[in-house]
């Protein structure tokens, strides 16, 4: 019974090059791949854990993340090569490997390879890091939760995870609101009636900017109110305020807070907030209805509706 099991375990299934592939070799390949995967994961988590509990500053966090991810991918590649060598696939010559990659690209692996290379570029250049708040050209916006081998996971402010291919960050336009953790200026548009006092409008805007917690103001970063245009029913203004990275990660909620405070300040100063309306003007006059044989009917006032 033991002999039969041993024979089956070492029985050749097929021949790869000059090497017979047996169940034992396949089991060894899987063991090597799983071990490499497990070791890479442990090393990555260990490095990140040491960085969190060590003396490293917060600025070193993105570098540690990038290093641990690249090290993890390197261990995967080394483990894969070792496993392929174990089953007898000779990788000393690059002709077979190049041919296999070329065939894979021809059959649709170009997107996978493109996303993988893009992920490596993102980790090395550090133009994108975990915790950044980004707006993509496709309309996706949220915080970067993970930069993986093929994709980047974006968590929106509605707690929805969106999987974005890494190539989109390389080939498309990306707005990174927290790239260097500095201040950002936010513009909140609003309109008031033409009869409003512009100085009072400016006073209301400055007061609203001071009410919202998290806004920033110093000698060189002051909130301001700009008159930006003449609308059909209103004078168009913008409230320009400076905010830090925490508020920048919640642009929708931040804008709503400033609009709320701005509305309160405008009402407090009796500044009218207009709405679309039309004025109808009636003009007096007469018109004549012709009749047959040259006779005319009585006249009556004409309105704009009749015209």
Which residue, chain included where needed, has tokens 């001071």?
210
- Hey, which of 17-31, 50-64, 161-175 has the most confident mean pLDDT? 161-175
Rounded to 5 degrees, φ, ψ at 67 are -60, -45
Residue 166 scores a pLDDT above 80: yes
Q: Closest Cα partner for 61 from 74, 70, 52? A: 52
Write the pLDDT tens digit of every residue in 234-250. 999 999 999 888 888 88
Produce one character per residue of 200-220: b if its CB has 16 or more CB atoms within 10 Å, e if not.
ebbebbbbbbeebeebbeeee
Half-sphere exposure of 225 (CA within 13 A, CB side): 23
- Determine the pLDDT at residue 98: 61
The distance in angstroms from the start CA to the end CA of the chain is: 107
- Determine the pLDDT at residue 258: 94
Alpha-carbon span 120 to 114, nearest angstrom: 10
- Determine the pLDDT at residue 216: 81
The pTM of the full predicted model, rounded to 2 decimals, is 0.55
**Residue pair 215/183 in contact by the 8 Å Cβ criterion:** no
Q: How many CB atoms lie within 10 A of CB 68?
A: 20
**Residue pair 23/13 in contact by the 8 Å Cβ criterion:** yes
Q: Closest Cα partner for 169 from 228, 128, 218? A: 128
- Determine the pLDDT at residue 3: 58
- Determine the pLDDT at residue 126: 79
Name the average pLDDT for the chain: 78
Spell out the alpha helix ranges (H) of the chain.
2-9, 23-53, 61-86, 94-104, 110-125, 167-171, 198-211, 245-248, 251-268
Alpha-carbon span 15 to 149, nearest angstrom: 33
Q: How many CB atoms lie within 10 A of CB 32?
A: 19
- Determine the pLDDT at residue 69: 75
Write the pLDDT tens digit of every residue in 78-99. 888 787 777 776 655 555 556 6
């Amino acid at each position: 019974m033991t002999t039969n099991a041993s024979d089956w375990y070492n029985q050749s299934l097929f021949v790869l090059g000059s090497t017979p592939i047996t169940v034992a070799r396949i089991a060894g390949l899987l063991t090597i791949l799983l071990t490499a995967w497990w070791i890479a994961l442990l090393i990555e988590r260990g490095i990140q854990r040491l960085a969190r509990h060590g003396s490293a500053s917060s600025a070193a966090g993105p570098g540690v993340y990038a290093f641990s991810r690249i090290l993890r991918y390197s261990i995967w590649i080394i483990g894969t090569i070792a496993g392929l060598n174990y089953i007898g696939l000779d990788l000393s010559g690059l002709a077979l490997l190049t041919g296999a990659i070329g065939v894979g690209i021809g059959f649709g692996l170009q997107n996978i390879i493109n996303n993988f290379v893009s992920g490596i570029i993102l980790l090395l250049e550090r133009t994108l890091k975990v915790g950044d708040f980004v707006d993509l050209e496709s309309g996706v916006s949220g915080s970067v939760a993970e930069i993986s081998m093929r994709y980047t996971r974006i968590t929106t402010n509605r707690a929805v995870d969106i999987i974005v291919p890494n190539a989109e960050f390389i080939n498309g336009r990306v707005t990174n609101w927290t790239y260097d953790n500095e201040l950002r200026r936010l513009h909140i548009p609003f309109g008031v009636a033409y009869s409003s006092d512009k100085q009072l409008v400016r006073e209301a805007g400055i007061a609203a900017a001071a009410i919202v917690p998290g806004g920033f103001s110093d000698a060189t970063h002051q909130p301001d109110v700009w008159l930006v245009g003449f609308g059909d029913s209103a004078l168009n203004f913008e409230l320009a305020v400076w905010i830090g990275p925490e508020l920048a990660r919640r642009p929708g909620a931040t804008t709503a807070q400033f609009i709320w405070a701005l509305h309160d300040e405008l009402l407090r100063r009796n500044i009218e907030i207009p709405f679309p309306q039309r004025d109808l003007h009636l003009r007096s006059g007469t018109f004549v209805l012709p009749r047959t044989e040259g006779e005319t009917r009585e006249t009556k006032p004409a309105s704009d509706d009749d015209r």
